Chains A and B, each alone.
Chain A
Amino acid sequence: MLCERCKKNNATVFYRESINGKERSLSLCEECAEKARKNGELETEFPVDGFFTKPLMGVDKLFGSLFGFPQLVGQTTSDGKKCPLCGATFRDLMAEGKAGCPECYKTFSDELSSTISRIHGATTHTGGAPSRFKAGRDLKQKIRSLEKGIKTAVEEENYEEAARLRDELRAIRAEKGDEEK
């Protein structure tokens, strides 16, 4: 979709407002949006939650709009944070509606968390993992179960068992520490 002002660049900022039943919508490129913002044409003071909960213009078709709301552009341009791997800014992510590289998810984890939770209704993966993570996952689970076992053993005053589990836990932690070095 072309920017409706300059008719040259692709529109990446989609703006819609509804004031007392009067609707107005704009599809602009970054440049024209910036001009409009300076002219005070784009209201950017809306609370983010209110905006996000409103379904805007066939969101599923325009993934760009998952990120690309003007009030967020306003919030983040001052930040200037760049992804160390691909050099993308959060503004780039919003414009494209997609991450620049796998590392972007770490770099912009705070900025993206509400969007991700809105898309999926969840924030934490519960499915499979590559083999190199499976070992770590299993280890974490083992540590959690040992910690739980120690607690139960102490509660039951089974100190011998608690000591045995504690030693096992220490051994695992020592090994894990070595690995990390």
Chain B
Amino acid sequence: MKWYESCGKDRDVIVSSRVRLARNIVDYPFGDRLDDASKKEIIAKVKDALADGKEYVFRDFASLSETERIAAEEEHAVSPEFARGSGPRALIESADGTAFIMILEEDHIRIQTITPGFSLDEAFDKAREIDGKLDSKLNIAYDEKLGYLTHCPTNLGTGMRASVMMFLPGIAHSGDLRSLQNQLGKIGLTIRGMAGEGSSADGCLFQISNQVTLGVSEEETVAKLVQITERLIEQERTLRRKMYEADREALTDRIMRSYGVMLYATLVDTQELFRLYSDVRLGVSLGVIDCVTAERLDRILVKCMPAVLIRDNDGVRDARSRDRARAETIRRLLSGAPEGKK
């Protein structure tokens, strides 16, 4: 099941956990230095390496429509660079919807696993399993001193980026984001707003990840991120409670108004969606709203992204029809049967 279709640990604060491994094949150049024939060879090699089991689905990504490609980005299956790039490239997806292997992103191979809630170890194990399968069939570029060799020197070493997508309305409200950013920077971690750099307008969603990949092992990287995330979860819960206690009535009113809009609005744009999502998700964690779960709201957010809406609904084209389909999707998913509990 995809990360937004299942529940997970600490879901009130952690939306999803992700691990990405950058890998390259020896004797092939990187990026623009690769001709189309070599690109096709690489795609075929990676496809063959994972052809044993039936648990993978291969997609010629370049042949997909722009809508399908951007929708994959909005579902966090692929990176923006991969979705918007050009030239031959392919995507291999695990049948369980938790692993995505991007072929010819910035590196020849990018293994990405994404799991619901706070589950970094699980995401790491899945990524390592695929890495092992590829390693047994392919000659992966590696240097004993520099580790895995990558297109960009910022990924040398483990080639690993571990991250958690966090919902942080408490920390964002407290105004401590800037200082958190500085503190994380000092210990080799980085925080970014979901869409823009450090922006708090994106539904209070922030991604925290490791910055350094050389001189630290994969296990150390994950352990450090887990340790810091645990502390942040506690801090976030405390700040939410504090925000609530400061003016229960006003906050409850804001949350219920947003919930009301979700239930009854007929047109909702993306910006409003993020605000509604953030308010109601906060309401769920505070116990103000108990008829919807955090994972249901995450599902709504993904299913209401512009390209996903166009892909999944017939006749959606312009902004107006998108806003209409968005409002319908919210209502439909809110009224659906329960999809699991926290």
Contact: B214 with A116, CB < 8 Å? yes
Contact: B33 with A120, CB < 8 Å? no
Interface of B (DSSP majority class): loop
Contact: B153 with A98, CB < 8 Å? yes
Q: Of the candidates A115, A126, A129, which one forms a contact with B215 in the assembled complex, judged by CB atoms under 8 Å apart?
A: A126
Collect the chain B residues with CB atoms within 8 Å of residue A102's CB.
Answer: 24, 26, 28, 30, 141, 143, 149
Size of interface on B: residues with Cβ below 8 Å to A? 41
Contact: B30 with A98, CB < 8 Å? yes
Size of interface on A: residues with Cβ below 8 Å to B? 34
* Bound: A123/B157 CA distance, A: 9
Collect the chain B residues with CB atoms within 8 Å of residue A105's CB.
Answer: 143, 146, 149, 156
* B212 contacts partner chain A, Cβ-Cβ < 8 Å: yes
* A8 contacts partner chain B, Cβ-Cβ < 8 Å: no
Contact: A127 with B147, CB < 8 Å? yes
Proximity bits, A60-100, B CB within 8 Å = 1, else 0: 00010010000000000000000001101000000011111
CB distance from A141 to the nearest CB of B (A): 12
A→B interface (CB under 8 Å): 63, 66, 85-86, 88, 96-102, 105-106, 112, 115-116, 119-133, 136-137
| Additional pairs, 4, CB under 8 Å, beyond known A121-B215, A125-B156, A125-B158 | A86-B30, A120-B213, A126-B215, A131-B132
Ordered by A's residue number, 24 sampled pairs between the chains whose C-beta atoms are within 8 Å are: A63-B152, A66-B153, A85-B29, A98-B31, A98-B152, A101-B29, A102-B28, A102-B149, A116-B153, A116-B214, A119-B214, A120-B157, A120-B213, A120-B214, A120-B215, A122-B157, A124-B145, A125-B144, A126-B216, A127-B157, A127-B218, A129-B147, A133-B144, A137-B144
B→A interface (CB under 8 Å): 24, 26-31, 33, 128, 132, 135-136, 139-154, 156-158, 160, 188, 212-218, 221
